Amino acid sequence: MQHIIDRFISYVTVDTESDPNSDACPSTEKQWDLANQLVEELKKIGLEEVTIDENAYIMATLPSNVDHEVPTIGFISHFDTSPDFTGANVKPQIVPNYDGGDIVLNKELDIVLSPKYFKDLLQYKGQTIITTDGTTLLGADDKAGITEIVTAMEYLIQHPEIKHGKIRIGFTPDEEIGRGAHLFDVEKFGADWAYTMDGSQIGELEYENFNAAGAKLTFSGKSVHPGYAKGKMINSLLIANKFISKLPKDEVPQKTSGYEGFFHVNHITGTIENTEVQLIIRDHNLKKFEDRKKTIEKIVKKINKKFASKFGGPIVECVIEDQYFNMKQKVEPEMHIVDIAEKAMKELGIKPLIKAIRGGTDGAQLSYMGLPCPNIFAGGHNFHGKYEYVPVESMQKAVEVIVKIAELTAKK
């Protein structure tokens, strides 16, 4: 277990935060630091055909050790971390034999990880938990997944008595900003199907996800000295606020669950003359997803109509871009790949939690690119924030699931 801890910490202490405002790939130069480290590690443990391309996409091969034909399977994770919360100077804390009580992340700042609020913690009483120090995210999303894949491949190399077919692994940049699969070469990867190790708690197995889009709205205004502004000033900040107030108030992340979709305003910045609002749109149902985009367009149209004469043209511009779609449509015709993962978990004494992802993974886009790709737990909780943590035992179980999937796929 210490081997997993050491490997995980060696990854999370490398800053790989991605940047949605960059057009480069990877979106930040610092992602190369971990990418190059991974390439050397994959070669060191004995994988073959280890490659990294000009955009930092990493691929490698574990050759088959059976003499009969076996489908080629893949395991994929991403090495960037979310720009929603800093991933620089991560200082992991290890809590052995968790006692079920509060975990003080940062005494000086009075930051506490408590099971009174995060009830999932109680599932891991008696286990070893890795947390943040309360000032950064941890990076278990998805460096836990990378840890598990590398460790599983190393285990299979060291235990040739475990029979398996050809296995391909892939590590991607920029998943957290929706681009993880954009430049992924599915043909080069050459797998019949794959699994992303990018889920949360132990047992998760997912082949449904949100349809997703992002919207960027730019509000214009007119600045005049406030003492002489009557009938002249147009405050773009207030118009942006009016737009936000028109969105369905109960259809937000903090009030939805299961298959319920939402609108999520995640960025706003501005002045009197120019305000920018960014939001994301999510729904599992494709028709409802399209209706959500229309709702935004209707609100924009009404605001523009109201201010047309006063402003002399459109006062708000809106750009909506689709990000990914529900992989269910692509995975359901290949349900045997979900069945194999479910069987692997059951044989290891893990209760499968088959549910829809309230988010997305590289697998959503890859499934539409011709590589069916369900999602399996990586073990972490509370992603994208200072309360993120991962039980080491969950990572160990994920390693065992990867090994078992490889074994089951190779059986005649």
Structure tokens at 14: 């490398």
Distance CA 264, CA 248 (A): 11
* Predicted local distance difference test score (pLDDT) of residue 310: 81
Distance CA 318, CA 267 (A): 15
| Amino acid letter, 324 | Y
pLDDT digits (tens, 9 = 90+) for 311-365: 888 999 999 999 889 999 999 999 999 999 999 999 999 999 999 988 877 898 9
Q: Calculate mean pLDDT across residues 137-147.
A: 97
pLDDT digits (tens, 9 = 90+) for 242-293: 999 999 999 999 999 999 999 999 999 999 999 999 999 999 999 999 999 9
Distance CA 62, CA 149 (A): 11
- Please give the order of strands across the beta sheet that includes 48-52: 48-52, 58-62, 167-172, 73-78, 193-199, 375-377, 204-208, 353-356
Give the global pTM.
0.88
CA dihedral 69, 343, 395, 15 (to 10 degrees): 60
* Predicted local distance difference test score (pLDDT) of residue 381: 97
Distance CA 93, CA 267 (A): 30
Q: Where residue 412 falls among pLDDT bands split at 50, 70, 90?
A: low
Q: Which CATH class is domain 2-209+326-410?
A: alpha beta
pLDDT digits (tens, 9 = 90+) for 94-115: 999 999 999 999 999 999 999 9
| b/e burial code for range 160-192 (CB count within 10 A of at least 16 → b) | eeebbbbbbbbbbbbbbbbbbbbbbebeebebb
Catalytic annotation present for 339: no
Q: Where residue 170 falls among pLDDT bands split at 50, 70, 90?
A: very high
Distance CA 45, CA 56 (A): 20
Catalytic annotation present for 141: no
* Predicted local distance difference test score (pLDDT) of residue 360: 76
Please identify which of the residues 175, 176, 283, 400 carries the catalytic annotation. Answer: 175
When computed from its CA atoms, the radius of gyration of the chain, rounded to whole angstroms, is 23
**Neighbour count for residue 279 (Cβ, 10 Å):** 21
- For the chain, give the percent of residues with pLDDT over 90: 93
pLDDT digits (tens, 9 = 90+) for 293-318: 999 999 999 999 998 888 888 999 99
Whether CATH 3.40.50.2000 fits 211-324: no
* Predicted local distance difference test score (pLDDT) of residue 362: 87
pLDDT digits (tens, 9 = 90+) for 183-226: 999 999 999 999 999 999 999 999 999 999 999 999 999 999 99
Please identify which of the residues 19, 80, 208, 362 carries the catalytic annotation. Answer: 80
**Which three-class secondary structure state does DSSP give residue 377?**
strand
Distance CA 100, CA 116 (A): 10
Contact present, 208 and 357 (Cβ < 8 Å):
yes
pLDDT digits (tens, 9 = 90+) for 25-57: 999 999 999 999 999 999 999 999 999 999 999
* Predicted local distance difference test score (pLDDT) of residue 347: 98
Contact present, 179 and 288 (Cβ < 8 Å):
no
Domain spans of the chain? Answer: 2-209+326-410, 211-324
Taking all residues of the chain, what is their mean pLDDT, rounded to a whole number? Answer: 96
